[in-house]
Amino acid sequence: MPDLSVIIPAYNEESRLPSTLESVYEYLEHSGHTFEIIVVDDGSLDGTCQVVEDFALHHDGLRLISYAPNQGKGCAVRTGMLAGRGDYLLMNDADGSSPIEEVDKLLAALKSGASVAIGSRAKADPEAVVKAQLHRKYIGNTFNLIVQSLLLPGIQDTQCGFKLFTRAAAHDIFAVARLNGYAFDVELLYIAKLRAYKISEVAINWTNAVGSKVNVLTDSPRMFLEVLRITFGAWTGSYRKA
């Protein structure tokens, strides 16, 4: 079994994925960890699958999971997490906005007793550099205030696409999670909280990547509705253990 599984959800990422795969593989190859990289193709309509297959010809430890039609990022991450075989499972965005080197900070948090470590762009840390567009930062902060008031008080950034789980926590949480939209992060963290997993929020370096799939005008209202759906599920006991 590998030490680390890196799950990369991908939808129409033929242009951004190659550089991310290169950086992730190069770093892990010299990190001392045994690892696997799982790219989950979420029904892409471009050459995403071909990019992964070409990369795998010259790099061991890369797996491609592909399905159609497109289901949403939540489905892609869930599929990869449930397929991961590592002791630790990392969710890592295809755009490379979170440098793979930051995984060491998350690993340190898990080895100190947490079961879930989440990269944060909002937690204050003078050594962390976050380069985000102002309007996205404002909308993100507003969304987080809603999430904190309804479900997750104290967590400052639920939406950063860089999260690390122990295998036991990942397989437990993602077996219950069901949202496919962009608020799936909120759902999985709420499930983790409900199951009393220790969540550590870790400030990381992060740079806004060109070509984001999130449309702040159309996706923000959908995410809010999904948060209400999670809240209703919380009130009705949908996420409790059997």
Task: Output the domain CATH number for residue 98.
Answer: 3.90.550.10
pLDDT of the residue at 124: 82
**3-state SS assignment for residue 10:** strand
Per the confidence metrics, is the pTM higher than 0.85? yes
Give the H/E segment covering residue 215: none
- CB neighbours of residue 78 within 10 Å: 26
* Full domain range(s) for residue 23: 4-236
Residues 6+ apart with CB under 8 A from 54: none
Cis peptide leading into residue 69 (ω within 30°): yes
- Does residue 242 form part of some domain? no
Residues 12 and 235: their CA atoms lie apart, in Å, by 37
- CB neighbours of residue 122 within 10 Å: 18
- Does residue 14 form part of some domain? yes
- Domain count across the chain: 1
- Does residue 211 form part of some domain? yes
- CB neighbours of residue 37 within 10 Å: 27
- CB neighbours of residue 23 within 10 Å: 14
- Does residue 204 form part of some domain? yes
Residue 163 pLDDT exceeds 90: yes
pLDDT band, very low/low/confident/very high, at 238 (cuts 50, 70, 90): confident
Average pLDDT of the chain is 90
Task: Give the pLDDT confidence of 69-103 residue by residue, as tens digits.
Answer: 999 999 999 999 999 999 999 999 999 999 999 99
Residues 58 and 19: their CA atoms lie apart, in Å, by 15
**3-state SS assignment for residue 39:** strand
